[in-house]
Structure 1
Amino acid sequence: MKPSETQPVPLESLHCRWCGTFSTRSMALWACSPTLFSFYHHDLKDLTMSERRYSLDRFLEKTRDKDLNQGLFELESDRMLDINLNGEVWTKMGSMIAYTGNVKFEREGILSQGLGNLLKKAVSGEGTALTKVSGKGSVFCADSGKKITILELQNEAICVNGNDLLAFEMSLNYNIKMMKKMTAMLAGGLFNIRLEGTGMVAITSHYDPITLPVTPHQPVVTDPNATVLWSGQLEPQLKTDVQFKTMLGRGSGESLQFLFQGHGFVVVQPYEEVVFQNQS
């Protein structure tokens, strides 16, 4: 005679001995073997999860906004920046993809940085255009799916390629710098933005960047299209490789290079980003 026929099954015994879940699906199975019941219960559970692997609920849970409480700038992912706005910040024009709250967007005034920078912008195009974002809420920014890195400057200075700057705090002073030689346009490295002070900045790069140290005994030469940023005390010189120019032709980006000399560092990406040509 089966145990279930001689005595009722206690309800407290119908909890899975592994996960503690209560189930009335297989009282008879439990009566024959409590251990078998636990196996049976988990097999059903795994099957249900497998069937629901691509459900809308699972997608929404996986992709929902996560408040990490990490301060002003947070990375929702490697390619999306979440700005916990409560005041003002600068962002790259056109980088906003969504926002919540009471937020206002205002393009930088043409005279806000003086006539000198106005002339530089007229030459360099939209790559240096900034948007002042003010208010209280969450602002999500991205730039063509590029990888985002957050830096916190502590009374420091860096120079960022104009196309690789995503957002920065108002506490940082900025100035648009131009290469002295207009031929830098051919290399996509006509302008950069110098940031100085204390505050947070978000930069972008294609894939994972690497940092190269610069010393008086070991200068660094880079492709302007692959150069992301460098330390503020360095000023790159435009270098023409005559051999490359002769072999590959005048239009080759590798015939124009950045030469960094002194003390500092330079950050490069494994990608040649020809911004000027893309905009033309």
Structure 2
Amino acid sequence: MSVRTLQEFIASSREKDASPEAFELESPHLLEVRLNGLVWAKAGAMVARKGAVKFTRQGVLEQGLGNLLKKAVSGEGMQLMKIEGQGRVYLADAGKRITLLRLAGESIFVNGNDVLAVESGIESRITMMRKVAGMLSGGLFNVRLSGHGIVAITSHYEPLTLPVNAQTGPVFTDPNATVAWSGGLTPEIITDISFGTLLGRGSGESIQLRFAGEGWVVVQPYEEVVYQPRQ
């Protein structure tokens, strides 16, 4: 790697204003939010901010998504914060890759730990695959995002989208590697202890998600286990 002067480093790493959108990727791993009102973001994801910005964490939120979040399983891997005001906020999550998606009336499901930020025009509903609780760390906590606006989701490395249709048949995924799927799909939880034992992986591949119908599912080349402290 070549040595750069201080001026070259500052010029190459300074923030970009290449897009008029409220959400802009400064790099594949860093999101800039041009705040004029409010957005929702993953708690603890802020790395810098400018302007008059107020943060309100889960637990003292007054309505909407806050009420849904207060009903979620405590410590299960996702807490959002409301960000209000005017300014700029820079968000990241452990160096994970960020993907921006514009929803135009569609709905998607996203693994709770992979939601980085959503615009205020996006409606959210939290769901829990309780059958998985106790099998995986914290169960499988998903968020249904729908409406009009931009959502920022994260993945370890480059995600892969697999089509789901009648011609290709069902798609089976590892829950810890599943990032998102289309709103029309409802995954079925498949347990196969003998398969996991055969691979010598304990409870890993012995629990799978089965997707059938018409749609798509996004996976990452990484099995992410969210730590859940014991209550």
User: Normalised by the size of structure 2, how large is the TM-score?
Assistant: 0.89
Q: CA deviation at 1:147?
A: 0.5
Q: Is the 8 A contact 1:187 1:224 kept in 2?
A: no
Paired residue for 1:10?
none
Distance 1:215 1:247, change over 3 A: same
Q: Deviations over 1:39-71 (max 9, x none)?
A: xxxxxxxxxxx9xx5221111111111222331
Find 1:166's aligned residue among 116, 123, 133: 116
Letter in 2 for 1:260: F
2:57 aligned with 1:107, yes or no? yes
Q: Is the 8 A contact 1:187 1:256 kept in 2?
A: no
Say which structure is richer in helix.
Answer: 1
Say which structure is richer in strand.
Answer: 2
Q: What is the correspondence of 1:1-280 to structure 2 with a 5 Å cutoff?
A: 53-108=3-58, 109=60, 112=63, 113=65, 117-122=69-74, 125=75, 127-183=77-133, 185-186=135-136, 189-217=139-167, 218-248=169-199, 251-276=202-227
Distance 1:240 1:187, change over 3 A: farther
Distance, in Å, in 2 between the alignment partners of 1:144 and 1:116 is: 25
Distance, in Å, in 2 between the alignment partners of 1:185 and 1:246 is: 14
Which 10-residue stretch deviates more, 186-195 or 138-147? 186-195
Q: CA deviation at 1:244?
A: 1.6
- Find the structure with the greater CA-based Rg: 1
User: Normalised by the size of structure 1, how large is the TM-score?
Assistant: 0.74
Q: Is the 8 A contact 1:74 1:81 kept in 2?
A: yes
The CA RMSD measured in Å over matched residues stands at 2.2
Unpaired runs of 5+ residues, structure 2, are none
Paired residue for 1:40?
none
Q: Is the 8 A contact 1:184 1:238 kept in 2?
A: no
Which 10-residue stretch deviates more, 113-122 or 251-260? 113-122
Number of residue equivalences: 226
Q: Is the 8 A contact 1:160 1:192 kept in 2?
A: yes
Bigger RCO of structures 1 and 2 (CA < 8 A, at least 6 apart): 2
Which 10-residue stretch deviates more, 76-85 or 210-219? 210-219
Distance, in Å, in 2 between the alignment partners of 1:242 and 1:164 is: 27
Q: Deviations over 1:149-206 (max 9, x none)?
A: 1000000000000111100011111011100414465166521111011110000001
**Identity of matched residues, %:** 54
Q: Is the 8 A contact 1:161 1:189 kept in 2?
A: no
